[in-house]
Structure 1
Amino acid sequence: MSNKQIDRQRLMTFLSDFGDRDIYVGIMKGVIAQINPRLTVIDLTHQIQPQDIAAARFCLMNAYPYFPVGTVHLAVVDPGVGSKRRAIAVEFAQGFLVGPDNGIFSGVLSQSPAIAAVELTNLNYWRTSQPSNTFHGRDIFAPVAASLASGVPLKQLGQEINPASLVKLDIAECQQTSNGVVGCIQYIDRFGNLASNIPASYVQGKTWYVQAAGLSIPGCKTYGDVSVGERLALVGSHGWVEIAINSGNARSKLQLDWQEPLQVVLT
């Protein structure tokens, strides 16, 4: 890699389900530093539950708008590692995505469609031509992302593929009804808040409540609008309607889980 390419370096983010107990994250950062020690790598999170592609999709979809145009987003939640699933890099209006073709990028691309995509077939940008069957993050994704962030053109990284062929996660879209919106839970955070797939635009400036688990849950503006331990619905900082318990855990208390249905009712 030339000094001229390194001078065009971009910011990188890194998301995974590796946690902080093992050495996987550190090793991948070491590989990145071997290629370009001047790159800035920002950790989005490494606390995605193991193999939870849907959670990774949600987190990346809600994080990318806060980074400069041209940022390279490296995401590795990869239960299909070593299989025939494709390793990919994607260009979109805000930057680039590098990781497995398993739907992890489908949330981002639903908001900002792919401009171009490649399968990572150019072994010159892999760490080794014989990658581990269990750690493509180290041997393929980290070196490719570092190269891309250092100025290597996307088209040099592999064979061009049709962006329409990229895997999409089967996440239901909300549907408007005569008196509201029907949706489902698409993410659960560490506080037990239940984020739906209903965007804030449906409830802004309106009076509303949520029906879920046989309950009517009042629409509020803040957690403090109800007493401690009481349930409420509000728009989270991510811009989606969510169900919460003031100072409690909605998932545990209401026994609701991912993709379970709910309805916003306008009054």
Structure 2
Amino acid sequence: MITMLSDFGDRDIYVGVMKGVIAEINPQVRVVDLTHQIPPQNIAAARFCLMNAYPYFSDGTVHLAVVDPGVGGTRRAIAVQFANGFLVGPDNGTFSGLLSQSPALAVVELTNPDYWRISQPSKTFHGRDIFAPVAAHLAKGVPFQELGNPINSATLVQMDISGCILTETGIAGSIQYIDHFGNLVTNIPGSYVQGKTWYVKAAGLTITGSETYSDVEVGEAIALVESHGWVEIAINRGNAHSQLQIHLEDTVELAFES
């Protein structure tokens, strides 16, 4: 299986072209679209979505992720082998969240043109000319080490997203992702609040922690642990991002009631 994640949207032909390249090489492979609605060039959003999606796929899955503002520049094109499968895409931090949970077993730079679509790839569409064909070949069983030169996993680009910090009164964190509904996903794991009475402070507001959106009236703010396992701030039937004016990387504080 191959999963695909990108910021290409569904208006243009880019995603369809990549699927055509994959089908030409490996017509039997199953392709699953994670999303192609990552905000343009938003590597942090790509990192978050891939990190939270990969556990739901079988071992051996090839995860193809192309959010690539540095395409054609000095950033490396890579493939990564990890315990659950493979990653293919640019070395720009997209894979750093997933690899913090399941470390790399091996990494190669994609230097072998035998597994590209053409030997002189486009400077602006490596998704078509390098990443899609490499993913198709991997899913077909090409040995990982044949794809290019090995590199040290310690040299992979890391996203500058700091973790949450335990404080005397609770946990200090930040907003790491904003979803389609405007829900504000923090970098605080939900495991910290299990069985406790808690609340979140953000943008001068105190927001009660609860379990479901309907625990508050329509239009009211709530904090809860979402299905992805992170504490988030939401508004029942509303958009927390626009209504509360809380943004990516804004700080939040989670506190417990005694």
Aligned CA RMSD, in angstroms, stands at 0.5
Amino acid at match of 1:152: V
Please, what TM-score do these two structures have when normalized by structure 1? 0.96
Please, what TM-score do these two structures have when normalized by structure 2? 0.99
- Matches of 1:36 and 1:148 in 2, distance apart? 10
Could you say which residue in structure 2 is the equivalent of 1:143? 133
CA apart distance, 1:179:
2.0
Residue of 121, 124, 129 corresponding to 1:134: 124
- Matches of 2:124 and 2:52 in 1, distance apart? 28
- Matches of 2:173 and 2:209 in 1, distance apart? 15
CA apart distance, 1:153:
1.2
Q: Helix, strand or coil for the counterpart of 1:48?
A: coil
Amino acid at match of 1:240: W
CA apart distance, 1:109:
0.3
Query: Within the alignment, does 1:79 sit opposite 2:73 as a pair?
Result: no
Could you say which residue in structure 2 is the equivalent of 1:7? none
- Matches of 1:153 and 1:59 in 2, distance apart? 27
Query: Within the alignment, does 1:166 sit opposite 2:160 as a pair?
Result: no
1:103-150 CA-partner distances (Å, limit 9, x unpaired) = 000010011110100000001001011100000000000000000011
1:160-216 CA-partner distances (Å, limit 9, x unpaired) = 000010001000110011221000000000100000000011101100000000010
Q: Helix, strand or coil for the counterpart of 1:251?
A: helix
- Matches of 1:184 and 1:42 in 2, distance apart? 31
Query: Within the alignment, does 1:191 sit opposite 2:165 as a pair?
Result: no
Residue of 139, 145, 152 corresponding to 2:142: 152
Query: Within the alignment, does 1:17 sit opposite 2:7 as a pair?
Result: yes
Amino acid at match of 1:37: P
1:102-121 equivalences under 5 Å are 102-121=92-111
Amino acid at match of 1:47: Q
Query: Within the alignment, does 1:60 sit opposite 2:47 as a pair?
Result: no
Q: Helix, strand or coil for the counterpart of 1:146?
A: helix
Amino acid at match of 2:230: W
- Matches of 1:83 and 1:190 in 2, distance apart? 31
Query: Within the alignment, does 1:101 sit opposite 2:63 as a pair?
Result: no
Q: List, as ranges, runs of 4+ consecutive aligned residues in structure 1 with deviation greater than 4 Å.
A: none
Number of equivalences: 257
Residue of 225, 242, 256 corresponding to 1:235: 225
- Matches of 1:49 and 1:189 in 2, distance apart? 10
- Matches of 1:244 and 1:205 in 2, distance apart? 20
| Gap regions ≥5 residues in structure 1 | 1-10
Could you say which residue in structure 2 is the equivalent of 1:261? 251
Amino acid at match of 1:99: G
